[in-house]
A and B are shown apart, each in its own frame.
Chain A
Amino acid sequence: MLPKQTPDRLPSHPTQEIDRSVSVTFNFNGRTVHAYSGDTLASALYSSGVRIYTRSFKYHRPRGLLCSAGRCPNCMMTVNGIPNVRTCSVLVEEGMVVKQQNAWPSTEHDLFSILDRMDRFLPVGFYYKIFHRPKQLWNIVGPIVRRMAGLGYVQTRVVEENNYSHETRHVDVLVVGGGASGMSAALSASRRGKQVMLVDDQQLLGGRLRFDGNLYDGIPGVTSDVGYEIADNLSKLVTRNRNIEVMLGTTAFGLYEGNLIGLIQGRSKVKLRSGKVILATGIYEQPSIFDRNDLPGVMLSTAIQRLIHLKGIIPGRSAVVSTCDDQGYRSALDMLKAGIRIVAIIDSRERFPNELLAARELQENGVLVLMSHMLIRAEGTKHVVGAAASRLSDGHATTEEREFDCDLIAMSGGFQPADSLLRQAGCELSYNKSIDRMVASPMPDKLYAVGRVIGNDNLGKSIVHARSVGSGVAEVKSADNALSTPANFMHESQDLTEIKNCTAPSPIDLSQGAKQFVCFCEDVTARDIVRGIDEGFEDIETLKRYTTSTMGPCQGKMCHKHFANIRAKSLDNVDSAVYTTARPPVTPIPLGALAAQVHTPIKRTPLDRKHRELGAKMIELGPWYRPHTYTSSSNECLSVRNTVGIIDVSTLGKLEVVGQDAKTLLDKVYTGNFSTLKKGQIRYGILCSEDGTILDDGTVTRISEDRYFVTTTTGNIDVIEEWFKWWTVGTGLCAHITNVTSSYASINVAGPMARDTLRKLTKIDLSSDSFRYMWSRRGMVAGVQTLFLRIGFVGETGWELHFPAEYAEHMWESIMDAGKEYQITPFGVEAQRILRLEKKHLIVNQDTDAVSTPLSGDMAWAVKFDKDDFIGRSSLISARDSGYSEKLIGFNMKGSEVPEDGSPIVSENLPVGRVTSSRRSPITGQGFGLVWVPADMAEEGKVVHVRVGGENLPAELTFIPAYDPDGIKLRE
C-alpha cells in the first residue's frame, strides 16, 4: 500500500530544481503518483512516501535511496518496460509507467526475503561448495539459483521505435565534470580560443556546490562567497561563452586509446575525439560500515543534501549522523536548517573540528556530538527506527554503547575519487594515507585532471589550479603534463596538515554484526571479504572475483574504497590498498545506444531488373543478390552445352593494376608467371598467403606493357584489393591498383552458338584462328567499348565481356536478341556451379579451406617454382618436399544417391574426408563432385564410401573432369 502523498516540501529556495507550477503524474505499481516538473522519479516517490525502492540481489533485503546521484543500485526499477533504470537520475515525465523489480509478490512483502534469514548457509562463495553432490543436484538447483539472481525482466517484445541516435564529434578540449573546477578549466581554455565541450552527468552545472550553502572567503576572481551562488555565477559565465558547448545529463562512459571518448546523453551516444581531456570528475561519497547499513532510511550524507536542496524534500524527522570527516557536519547543519532533529553526530575522529563553522553552529544549537565513536548498527527491519553507537578504542568498538531513536541515518564514510576514466587511461593510483584516498600518479599524454578527483579538496585552490590547467592546455602544444602532475601539485599547492584532521579512515569493526554491507550491488559484507582472504584469495583481483565485490551494476563506485581497505587491513598492510582494473563503461549504457548501425548493404548488379523481369529466383551470395535459376538448372545446363547460355557475372571482383612494376607485383602475389604474359594474353592465377594456402583465384589479362586487368572471386575483392596494396607498399613497387568492380558490368556468353551470337554484334574476328582461347581483345560490341576475354569457366566456347556498367541492360538485350534464333538461355548460379563442377574447376572457399594449397588442391601446374620469390613459395616448397596430408579429387557415385555438400568420407566408421561440392550430373544422372581425401587414398579409380543418410555408399575417385577432359570444346 502506498501512503498518501505528503506535500510537506520545504519553501522555495534558489537551489531547488523543481518547478512547483507544473505538476506531472505517473503510474507507479498501478497507482498514480503526483510530482513536480524537475523531480526525479526517485524524489517524487520519496515525497509520496515510498521508502523501499527495490530488493537486494542476493538476500532480497529491502533497499531504499542511498546515493540519489545515479551511482548506486538501490533505486533501480523497471520504467516503461525497461529494466534496471536508476530512478534517481530519470526526470519524471507525464504518463511514465514505473514498476518495482526483483521481489515477489511485492517489494514491500517479498517472500524471497527468507534468504536473508538463511544467510548462515549462504556465506561468500557458498555455491562453489554445495549442490555438486549428487551429480544431478546442480541440474535442479541451477535453474532455481538463476531465477533468484538477476534483477529486472527483459521485455521480450520490442514495441517502441528505435529512437537511439549516434553522433561523431571533434573538439579541442573536453572537460568532464561541471563542478567549480571543471567550469573554471573550461572557461580559461575557451578564453584562449579553444573549442571546449563541458559534460556533466547531472541535469545542471555546479557539481556539489549546487547544494552547498557554505561560505567561502577570498577566492580570487569569484564574486560571491556562498557555495551555490559561486556555482550559479560560474555556470552563467559558461553558458554565455560561445566557445563552450555544455552537455548536461551526459556521462563520459569510456576513455579509449587516442582520447576517443564515449558520451551518453539519454538515448544519444556521441563518439568524441578531443585534442586534450581535462577530468574534473570529483569524488564519490562512500557509505559507513556498520550492521544493517543498508536499511531504508540510511543514506549518504550528500544524498540527504541533494534531497533537501535540490528537491525541497525533508527526508526524515530525526537523524543520526555517522561521519569520519567534516562532511557529516555540513550535512547535519543542512538537516537542522530543514527542520530535522539531529539526535547525535557520531564522529570517529578524536578531536572536535573547532575550526569548522558548521560544527560550531551545531554545537551552539545543542546537538550531541560524540567524538571517538562509531556507529555500530542501525535498528529496524524495513526502515530505520534507531541507531547504536559505541566508543572507539584503538580503532575498535568497545562495549560502551549508546542507543538512539531516529528515522534517518546520514553516513559519510569518506570519499573515493571518481577515477574510472583516469584508470581506464592507464593512470595508476596509489593510496595517500594522510587524506585516506587514492591519488593519481603522473598523467598520460594529453590528459589532465583538476579538483577533488586528484585530491584537491580546497575550493579556492582548486579553482585557481583548474584555471591554470585550462589555460595551460590551450597554450601548450606538446603535452606539458607537469602542470597537472598530482605529485607536484600536492606538494606545492596543498597544505596537507590543513586537512589532516578533516579525514580519518572510516572505522570498520567486523565483530559488530553480520549485515555490514560493503558491496550493495552484490550483497557482499565485510565478513565475506575477510572470509575470502582467509580462504586464500588475497590478491585483490582474485578476491574481487571470489566475492564479486565491485562487479555489480555500480562497478565499485560505492564499495571500492572499503573493499580495498578491508583487504589491506586484513593483510596488515595499508599500503597495499590497490584497486582492481577499471573497465568501461563508467556507467551502464543501453546496448541500443552503443549499437553501431549494422550496415549490411545489399548489392545488386546493373542487370538486377532484367533478372527479376525474367522471373529469376534470387539468392543472397555474400552481399550480392544473384539469380539462382530462371527455369531449372538442368534446362539451363543443357542450353549451355547444346546451344548458348548467358550469365551475369558482374559480381566478379575486378582490379586494374597499372604501372612500371605492375608485372613485378603480380609475379610476387600470384604463384604463376605474369611478367611473361604477352600483350592480350590471359592466364589463370592463384594467390596464396605466406603459409602457402589458397587465398583466391582468378584471371589476369595483360592489356599493355604496364597495364593488367585482374578478376577475383566475388566474395574476396576487398581482401584482395587490400592484399595488393599491402604488398605494393611493403615492397616499394610502382603500381596503382584501382577497384573497378562496380564500374564494369560483366556478361559471360558460352556454348556452341556463342560465336554465332556475338558475331552479329561486333566486327572483331571471333574465329578460333584469330581469337584464341585465353586471349583478349578490345573493341565495340553492340556499340559499346568492351573488353573481350575468351575464357571458359563452364567448359564451352565462350567470352566474358566487360564494359561500362551503364550499358548493362542494353548489352544484355542486344545479346538476347542476337541469340534468339539459337534459343539463347539465361542461366543462374546453380547451373554455373554444375557446369564448372563437370570441368572440375574448384571454387575458392567452397572447395578450399584455410589449409588448402594449390598442391593439395591438385593445381600444382599453376605454381611456378622456377620463378623468383613469390608469396607462399617457401611454404609450398616444403609442402612439395615433405608431402601433404589431404588431396582434392573428383568423385562419381556408384548408385543413384546424391550426397549433400559436407558429407563425410568414411573409413572404418570414422570420417577421413569430406565432400565439398556435390550435384547430380546432367550427363550421367548420378551424383558427382569434389572431395577431400587423405593423400594416400587419392588414386584414380579408387572406391571410397560416402556417408549419406546414415549409410555408407560407394563412390569412385577420379582426377579426370566429367566433361570434355581434354578441353577441346573450349578451344573450338
Chain B
Amino acid sequence: MLQLFQKKRMWRKSPLKRHYDVIIVGAGVHGLATAYYLGKLGITNVAVLDKGYIGGGASARSTAILRANYLTSQGIPFFRESLKLYGDLAQELDYNMLFTRSGRFDLGHTESAVFGLRMRSQFNQMHGVDSRLIGPDEIKKLIPVLDIRQGKHLPVMAALYHPPGGVIRHDAVVWGYARGADRMGTEIHPFTEVIGIKKNDNKIIGVETTHGFISAGSVVSATAGWSSTVAALADVNLPIVTHPLQAFVTEPLKPYIDATISSANLHVYAYQTDRGEVVIGGGVNHYPSYSQRSTLDMLETLSGHVLELLPALRDVNVMRQWAGLCDMTPDYAPIMGKVDGLDDFFISCGWGTWGFKAAPIAGKCMAEMIFTGRVPELIQPFSLSRFREGKLVNERASAPAGAIH
C-alpha cells in the first residue's frame, strides 16, 4: 500500500561496465526472469542488454494467457511449475500483475479434435494439472455468450476446461522482474544491441555491442524473434524458423466474457482484459518473415472466425491490431540449455507462441543451470541436442488455436 505514494524508480540507469560475470542478451520476460533468479542465487554482477526498450519485442506483444494444459510428459510438468510460480509472483515481487484465473477452454469441433483434447485432459490429470473434458451443456453454462453452434457446421462438441488458466498483465510481469533484479544489483541496459559474440576457441569471452565490447564469464541468449540471428553470431545454427503472429483488441467493453477460449478448428482465441478490451488472436502466419507489420487479411480472417463463436461482437469496434515474431521449432517445444562444444554460452529460445507462459520456470531453471553448471531435470528434454538425437518433444497439438505452419 505504501508504494502507492512513493515515487521510486523501478530500475536504475548505470554506466555500462567493461566486464560482467553474466551477460543476458534480451531484456524481455525471459532475460529478466533469468536475471532475477540469478540474483536470488547471489549472482548479481549481471547485465541484461536489449536492442530496444525493456520488455519490448515478443514480451510486449504477447497476448498474456497463462495455462499448463499441455500435451506431453515433458511439457506438462514444466508449464505446471511455471503456472505455480505465476500464482505467487505478485507476492514474490511485491507487484500486482493482475493475474486472473478465469479458466481456459480449448474447444473441440470435430471428432479428431476431441480425441486430442481427451488425451490432453488425461495426461494433464496424471501430471497433477487441473483440466477435464466437458460437454456442450456445461460449456454453455460456464460461458453463456458462446455460440456452441448446435446444428451448424463445426459444432462445439467438447472443451478441455482448465480452471487454473487465466490472464496476466504481461507488461507488469516484465517490470516486476526488472525491478526485482535491479534491486539485487543487476544492471539493465536498454538500447544496447549485441552485434557480435566473441569466442576464444570453444569458450565465449564476451559480446560486441553498439556501445563497445564487454567481456563476460557467461553469455545467455534470451532473445525471441531473432534468436537464430543472435545464435548465429556465435556460429550456432538453430533449427528455428521465425513466423509473425498477429492479434488485435476491441474497444473497452463492460464485462462480457469471463474466460479464455481457444478453437483449433476455427483458428482463433479470445478473452477480455481487466480494462474491458477483448483480445483476439490466432495461429502464426503461414509464411516465415521478420516483418512486424500487421496485415488486413489476418484481421479479416480472425474477425470472421471469432464471430463464429462470439456473434454478439459483430458491432463492436476493433481498436488496434499488431504483429509479433515467433521462433517456431520443429516440435513446438522450446530449446533451453547449453550448446555442445561451446562453453559458457546458454540459450533459452524457440519460444514460439508458448514463451510467456513459461517465463518464471524457464528463468529459474536457466539461473540454476548457470549457477550449478548442471542442467535441471525439468528442462533436460528441451536441449538443443534433441534434434540431433531424434528425441523431439511433440507439443504441436497443444499450440494455441492450432498455430500450425
- A contact residues vs B (CB 8 Å cutoff): 57, 81-84, 102, 121, 123, 126-133, 135, 138, 142-143, 145-147, 149-158, 162, 164, 254, 256-257, 260, 262, 271, 424, 426, 531, 534-537, 539, 541-542, 545-546, 548, 551-553, 555, 581, 583-585, 588-592, 594-598, 600, 602, 619-622, 691, 845-846, 849-851, 875, 878-879, 882-885, 900-904, 906, 909-912, 914, 947
Contacts and interface: CB of A to CB of B under 8 A. Distances in A.
A583 B390 contact: no
B98 interface: yes
Given A147-B254, A594-B299, A588 B312 contact: no
Given A142-B274, A909-B126, A589 B396 contact: no
A154 B313 contact: yes
B314 A149 contact: no
18 contacts: A57-B252, A81-B315, A84-B317, A130-B4, A146-B274, A254-B299, A539-B190, A539-B191, A542-B55, A542-B171, A553-B319, A585-B319, A585-B321, A590-B317, A591-B315, A591-B316, A591-B317, A602-B153
Contacts of A875: 390
Contact of A594 (B119, B153, B303): B303
Contacts of A845: 112
B251 to A, nearest CB: 5
A885 B392 CA distance: 8
Interface stretch (B5-13, B205-213, B223-231): B5-13
B45 interface: no
B7 to A, nearest CB: 5
A535 B7 contact: yes
B300 interface: yes
A35 B1 CA distance: 51
A883 B391 CA distance: 9
Interface in B205-258: 250-256
B201 to A, nearest CB: 27
B17 interface: no
Nearest to B396: A850
B141 to A, nearest CB: 15
A904 B154 contact: no
A531 B122 contact: no
Given A126-B4, A597-B304, A691-B330, 13 more contacts: A84-B251, A84-B317, A149-B276, A254-B296, A256-B295, A260-B296, A536-B9, A539-B53, A545-B171, A553-B319, A555-B319, A850-B331, A878-B390
A588 B277 CA distance: 12
Contacts of A878: 388, 390
B54 interface: yes
B3 interface: yes
Contact of A123 (B4, B169, B256, B299): B4
A608 B98 CA distance: 53
Contacts of B307: 591-592, 595, 598
B153 A904 contact: no
A127 B122 CA distance: 38
A263 B104 CA distance: 35
Contacts of A84: 251-253, 316-317
Contacts of B191: 539
Interface stretch (B30-38, B88-96, B336-344, B363-371): B88-96
A256 B293 contact: yes
B318 A600 contact: no
A116 to B, nearest CB: 17
Nearest to A426: B293
B322 interface: yes
B100 A142 contact: yes
**B interface residue count range (under 10 / 10 to 19 / 20 to 34 / 35 or more):** 35 or more
Contacts of B100: 138, 142
B161 interface: no
Given A254-B296, A901-B118, A83 B396 contact: no
A406 to B, nearest CB: 33
Interface in B84-128: 88, 90-91, 94-100, 110-112, 115-116, 118-119, 122-123, 126-127
A903 B122 contact: yes
A488 B294 CA distance: 31
Given A256-B293, A591-B307, A151 B252 contact: yes
Contacts of A130: 1, 4, 96
Contact of A911 (B123, B293, B304): B123
Interface of B: 1, 3-4, 7-11, 52-56, 60, 73, 88, 90-91, 94-100, 110-112, 115-116, 118-119, 122-123, 126-127, 144-145, 153-154, 169, 171-172, 175, 190-191, 250-256, 266, 272, 274-276, 291, 293-297, 299-301, 303-308, 311-322, 330-332, 388-394, 396-397
A150 B392 contact: no
Contacts of A537: 10
A186 to B, nearest CB: 23
Which A-B residue pairs are the 7 nearest by beta carbons?
Answer: A150-B276, A588-B317, A902-B119, A850-B396, A132-B96, A596-B300, A592-B314
A146 B321 contact: no
Given A585-B321, A691-B330, A947-B122, A257 B300 contact: no
Contacts of B296: 254, 256, 260, 262, 271, 584
Nearest to A597: B304
A83 B299 CA distance: 21
A339 to B, nearest CB: 38
Contact of A257 (B73, B295, B312, B391): B295
A82 to B, nearest CB: 4
Given A535-B10, A594-B303, A902-B118, A588 B145 contact: no
A845 B123 CA distance: 19
A873 B145 CA distance: 50
B251 A588 contact: yes
Contacts of A155: 312, 315
A912 B73 contact: yes
Given A598-B305, A846-B112, A535 B274 contact: no
Which of B272, B299, B397 has the largest count of A CB atoms less than 10 A from its CB? B299
B312 to A, nearest CB: 5
B27 to A, nearest CB: 11
Contacts of B388: 878, 882
Given A536-B10, A589-B318, A849-B394, A904 B123 contact: yes
Contacts of B172: 128
Contacts of B301: 596
A156 B145 contact: yes
Given A146-B276, A902-B119, A619 B111 contact: yes
A542 B390 contact: no
A57 B91 CA distance: 28
B294 A584 contact: yes
Given A256-B294, A906-B126, A598 B91 contact: no
Contacts of B119: 901-904, 914
Nearest to A591: B303
Contacts of B331: 850-851
A595 B312 contact: no
Which of B4, B118, B321 has the largest count of A CB atoms less than 10 A from its CB? B4
Contacts of A585: 318-321
A151 B97 CA distance: 22
A620 B99 contact: no
Contacts of A132: 90-91, 94-97
A776 to B, nearest CB: 31
A54 to B, nearest CB: 12
Given A536-B10, A846-B112, A154 B122 contact: no
Contacts of A83: 251, 253, 315-316
Nearest to B144: A156
A142 B101 CA distance: 10
A333 to B, nearest CB: 37
B38 to A, nearest CB: 21
Which of B90, B91, B291, B396 has the largest count of A CB atoms less than 10 A from its CB? B90
A128 B7 contact: no
A531 B7 contact: yes
Nearest to B394: A851
